[in-house]
Chain A
């Protein structure tokens, strides 16, 4: 039952606090993300979600605490939005090629067409774009695609790096409802196929929960953590999200009926269960009020 103890986390934050000037935005955050695990970070605006993400990604050094990563951890990052100047002529295909983990993308590498790496890279791009259904966009200028298409392109770019840890900042922003389900299902599939860990930031509580193993509810401090069901029953969570948590509960109900099997199959289900209990303890032992 203590299977999870033998696994090394991909990334681990210990007692991380962060201040901008005198304004504390994060207080004493600890978390771990393991391979094959989907962790969703939720919280209201100004809760410090983006700051925490930047700290985990190594873009910001926290005022206190440490972040440790597994050696040679490959991170695929999908930013929330990206603005590309219209003066930069670039097709979607080129944009994706630039994301390949090729250390030497020189001015001339474009002309080394026969090289093994290029061929290999293009295969990955082909496969990923097919799966995300964006092959028809490849030759288009990247500035011309729609918001929802851009999200898929950014996800594709994160994936072609074959990451150990996938970090997604609001991955379904601007995507229609059907597309959202597709993307979430796809993310779940990636987790199972590539065995990577996934950290997702979201404020869309509805759909998020479906495949998530662990929810981290952030409001400057870690309000509560645990399996979606546990979190949704937490009083602090309900205080934060109010009526939203009700619709969530309904959704969660559906989820349990339809997904029992897939969860049961994965050995991972056990460890998630395990952690779930730990977190319940966590929740009660940290009763610092959010409100």
Chain B
């Protein structure tokens, strides 16, 4: 008799949870011009899947491990860089994707569902996924509780932040690892395209409404949650693919907000 079937309720809870945890990471990706970073990590997740299949270990675990390894690699390379981070990310994104595909093709009897890879399957969220999302949100809350101001200062100017006594490398590395963890986790649920969309689009849309970083975070959460709810219900009632519907709703919200003039002239 309930209005929502069980799977819809789980999808809603999981989706809202993901929107909430991607907002604090997404705003910093936008502020630091790192949107490609998310894409790279999402691609490297495929390598995680194929290694997991190859070694016959739990896929979620292997995706998380590989993503965090790639994140650490990016971090290390950017510290000792001869290449621009743009080039670096391009190389890592596509090489890890290629390695992943090659490794998968070496194994017999395995086919990957490309749509599933791109858009995940939010309707198949289970309680384990939900508890992982909860765990991530606790990690993120702890991180921001301690480092919100520090991360803002690092975003403003890393050198100034370091002179002012912030351990810039530690803050950056923790942020990157957290991002990798979150992306790996939500990969399976919402897929590669949705992860990056969920990180970037609500944050970008929130800019128009905000005059402070905290406001932008708040609006970003709100817009993300609206996109999830809107996307889920449109797909439920008009029978559209769920993942893409969520991205479409988020994009429409973003476009609508572009019509609004800047709050701070």
Contact = CB atoms under 8 A, between A and B. Distances in A.
Interface of A: 54, 57-59, 75, 77, 79, 82, 84-85, 87-91, 94-95, 98-99, 101-102, 104-110, 140-141, 144, 157, 161, 167
Contacts of A85: 31-33, 155
B212 A94 contact: yes
Contacts of B211: 89, 91, 141
Per DSSP, chain A at the interface is: loop
Given A54-B159, A89-B215, A107-B145, 16 more contacts: A57-B159, A59-B162, A59-B163, A82-B160, A85-B33, A87-B204, A88-B155, A89-B212, A89-B213, A90-B156, A91-B211, A98-B149, A105-B153, A106-B144, A106-B145, A107-B148
| 3 tightest A-B CB contacts, nearest first | A105-B149, A107-B148, A77-B163
A82 B156 contact: yes
B30 interface: yes
A75 B163 contact: yes
A155 to B, nearest CB: 12
Given A87-B31, A109-B149, A99 B214 contact: no
A99 B148 contact: no
A161 B145 CA distance: 23
B6 interface: no
B162 to A, nearest CB: 6
B160 A79 contact: yes
A109 B214 CA distance: 11
Nearest to B215: A89
A110 B217 CA distance: 14
A61 to B, nearest CB: 13
Number of chain B interface residues as a range: 20 to 34
Contacts of B210: 89
B152 interface: yes
B74 to A, nearest CB: 20
Contacts of B216: 89
Interface in B136-177: 144-150, 152-153, 155-157, 159-160, 162-165
Contacts of B146: 104, 106
Contacts, number: 87
A198 B70 CA distance: 43
22 contacts: A54-B159, A57-B159, A77-B160, A85-B33, A87-B30, A87-B31, A88-B156, A88-B213, A89-B210, A90-B156, A94-B213, A95-B156, A98-B153, A98-B156, A105-B149, A105-B150, A109-B149, A110-B214, A140-B264, A141-B211, A157-B160, A161-B164
Nearest to B156: A84
Interface core residue of B31, B149, B150 (most chain A CB under 10 Å): B149
B257 to A, nearest CB: 13
A101 B164 contact: yes
Interface core residue of A75, A88, A95, A110 (most chain B CB under 10 Å): A88
A141 B264 contact: yes
B145 A108 contact: yes
Contacts of B160: 77, 79, 82, 157
B207 interface: yes
Nearest to A141: B264
Contacts of A99: 153, 164
B18 to A, nearest CB: 19
Contacts of A107: 144-145, 148, 214
A79 B157 contact: yes
B157 A98 contact: no
B148 A105 contact: yes
Contacts of B165: 101
Contacts of A58: 162-163
Contacts of B164: 75, 77, 99, 101, 161
A102 B149 contact: yes
Given A91-B211, A98-B153, A59 B145 contact: no
Contacts of B144: 106-107
A203 to B, nearest CB: 20
A58 B160 CA distance: 11
A178 B148 CA distance: 39
Contacts of A141: 211, 264
A106 B214 CA distance: 11
B14 to A, nearest CB: 24
Contacts of B156: 82, 84, 88, 90, 95, 98
Contacts of B213: 88-90, 94
